[in-house]
């Protein structure tokens, strides 16, 4: 039996009582035309729509969004009835906007084979409106332009808003769209959606406030909170690897797995983002979204379907099951650190505190590590070690699942030789692939067991060409598929997990001192101590 129709205000969130069921699967949630999530298929037919980008003069639009749309158009995945409307305070008209985007797309690392002929057809989709995000006239101009585009491109009244602005404008734009009745479908049978960039909030309180502001205007089914990590092919393949191969799921539990490591390491420093990083730090920048989402995909239970509500339900279950860190637990299970001057690839690099726009006595962490536990039957007793940092020895994002050692080593190895436990490594980036270490007898008259590797590369296995993260996510949003987007409860649960850590670090709790590490190393000694006390070690090779 389908959901009963209810008035919009009956499904708005009530902060006085916590929901026990996610909003987009709640029995009282309405389903608006065009909002139902659809399963992914190999043949993708996107519906027509007007794609409105707030912040169209910014870096994200030039580097990621327009190149992604160009790639999709070149692959024949965009319908004829799709037009892009950029909105920003920077003075431009349609022609100058197209010229800027032409240069950005032609030189973009996201575009493998730029074709002028393809661009000539694509640029006709691009339009621009100059205006402030807090000015009613901007939205009046946008309304008029959308009516014109609906007539010229036959967009059927469908509208997708993309908030590619600084977070301070998220609530402003959503409020203006609500005030001017631009969040509701423009005609019978059409749909309206909004994509909101990260960071979604600065802490639990701000995330909850922003969620309330968004839900006062949009239904949860209309909201797509984007995390570009979830659009990566290798991240999506975590689900395929787990649930399309029956040999792994029976051993994907505490009975067979010793521990899990998730690493996101960068060799770069903060570059030109000193102002942002000073207010964020590694914990907010990487853990609340990327690393927690990777952990949820690794640890989640099988969903009923690979579809938006079902996958997001199971990911939220993982976050709800994480044992909270509090009191002494923060000092015992977390590490924060900041890079000093050092050497990377033979070149000397400066310390964080002398980077542009960074305070010389900054206490902001550029490295964070933590140990988390998931309190459920599948993962009880299995530690999850997470770490992320800048100016580290190597660039890599990977998930390493270490299985338990064999119960008895009866091989006559001699000397210091030992049989290492099996390790399954999912390489997210770069060198995307899957690595499995096994023990095998080497040729010869003696029984000598050595470690060998079975190494699968996505590049050699499937070829060079892959969809970029934004291609996947933009197409999903146009189609109404929310599977790879964050839901309000997961966002707030992630911030809730981090809340006691952020609190302790903000007051410089003596139990959580800011350690230092030289640029080009694998981080502070304290991070090695964190995992070594359990008799384990980070994968640094």
List the catalytic residues.
290
Chain Cα centroid distance, residue 532: 29
For residue 108, which of 61, 67, 70, 73 has the smallest C-alpha distance?
67
Chain Cα centroid distance, residue 326: 26
Residue listed under structure tokens 């987007």: 485
Which residues make Cβ contacts (< 8 Å) with residue 16, sequence separation at least 6? none
CB of 540 closer than 8 Å to CB of 522:
yes
Max Cα–Cα distance, the chain, nearest Å: 84
Q: CA 521 → CA 344, 390, 392, distances in Å?
A: 9, 10, 5
The span from the CA of 241 to the CA of 199, in Å, is 29
The span from the CA of 143 to the CA of 121, in Å, is 25
Q: CA 6 → CA 10, 33, 308, 395, distances in Å?
A: 7, 14, 22, 50
Structure tokens at 239: 């689900």
- Residue 196 is given by DSSP the state E
Structure tokens at 75: 């692959």
β-bridge mates for residue 521, sequence order: 392
β-bridge mates for residue 517, sequence order: 339
Q: What value does the CA radius of gyration of the chain take, rounded to a whole number of Å?
A: 25
The span from the CA of 77 to the CA of 156, in Å, is 18
């Amino acid at each position: 039996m389908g959901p009963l129709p209810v008035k919009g205000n009956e499904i708005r969130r009530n902060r006085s009582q916590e929901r026990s069921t996610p909003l987009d699967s709640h029995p009282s949630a309405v389903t608006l035309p065009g909002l139902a999530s659809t399963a992914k298929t190999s043949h993708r037919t996107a519906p027509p729509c007007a794609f409105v980008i707030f912040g169209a003069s910014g870096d994200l639009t030039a580097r990621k969004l327009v190149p992604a749309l160009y790639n999709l158009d070149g692959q024949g995945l965009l319908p004829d009835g799709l037009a892009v409307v950029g909105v920003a305070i920077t003075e431009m008209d349609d022609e100058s906007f197209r010229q800027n985007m032409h240069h950005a797309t032609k030189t973009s690392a996201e575009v493998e084979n730029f074709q002028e002929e393809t661009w000539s057809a694509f640029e006709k989709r691009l339009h621009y409106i100059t205006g402030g995000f807090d000015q009613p006239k901007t939205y009046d101009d946008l309304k008029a332009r959308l009516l014109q585009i609906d007539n010229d491109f036959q967009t059927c009244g469908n509208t997708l808003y993309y908030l590619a602005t600084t977070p301070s404008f998220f609530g402003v734009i959503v409020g203006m769209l609500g005030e001017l009745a631009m969040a509701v479908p423009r005609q019978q049978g059409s749909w309206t959606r909004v994509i909101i960039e990260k960071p979604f909030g600065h802490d639990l309180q701000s995330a909850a406030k922003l969620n309330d502001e968004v839900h006062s205007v949009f239904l949860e089914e209309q909201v797509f909170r984007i995390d570009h990590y979830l659009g990566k092919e290798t991240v999506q393949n975590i689900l395929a690897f787990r649930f399309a191969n029956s040999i792994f799921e029976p051993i994907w539990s505490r009975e067979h797995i010793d521990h899990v490591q998730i690493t996101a390491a960068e060799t770069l420093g903060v570059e030109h983002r000193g102002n942002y990083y000073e207010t964020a730090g590694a914990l907010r920048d990487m853990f609340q979204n990327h690393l927690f989402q990777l952990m949820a995909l690794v640890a989640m239970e099988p969903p009923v379907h690979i579809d938006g509500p079902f996958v997001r339900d199971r990911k939220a279950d993982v976050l709800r099951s994480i044992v909270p860190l509090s009191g002494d637990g923060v000092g015992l299970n977390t590490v924060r650190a900041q890079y000093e001057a050092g050497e990377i690839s033979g070149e000397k690099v400066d310390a964080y505190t002398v980077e542009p726009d960074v305070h010389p006595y900054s206490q902001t962490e550029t490295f964070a590590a933590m140990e988390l536990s998931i309190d459920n039957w599948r993962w009880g007793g299995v530690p999850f070690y997470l770490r992320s940092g800048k100016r580290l020895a190597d660039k890599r994002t990977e998930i390493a699942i270490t299985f338990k050692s064999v119960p008895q080593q009866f091989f006559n190895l001699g000397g210091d030789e030992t049989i290492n436990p099996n390790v399954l490594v999912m390489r997210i980036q770069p060198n995307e692939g899957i690595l499995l270490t096994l023990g095998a007898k080497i040729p010869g008259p003696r029984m000598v067991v050595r470690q060998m590797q079975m190494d699968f590369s996505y590049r050699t296995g499937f070829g060079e060409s892959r969809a970029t993260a934004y291609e996947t996510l933009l197409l999903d949003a146009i189609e109404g598929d929310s599977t790879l987007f964050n839901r309000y409860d997961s966002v707030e649960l992630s911030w809730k997990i981090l809340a006691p850590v952020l609190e302790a670090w903000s007051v410089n709790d003596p139990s959580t001192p800011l350690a230092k590490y030289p640029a080009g190393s694998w981080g502070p000694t304290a991070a090695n101590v964190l995992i070594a006390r359990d008799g384990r070690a980070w994968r640094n090779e």
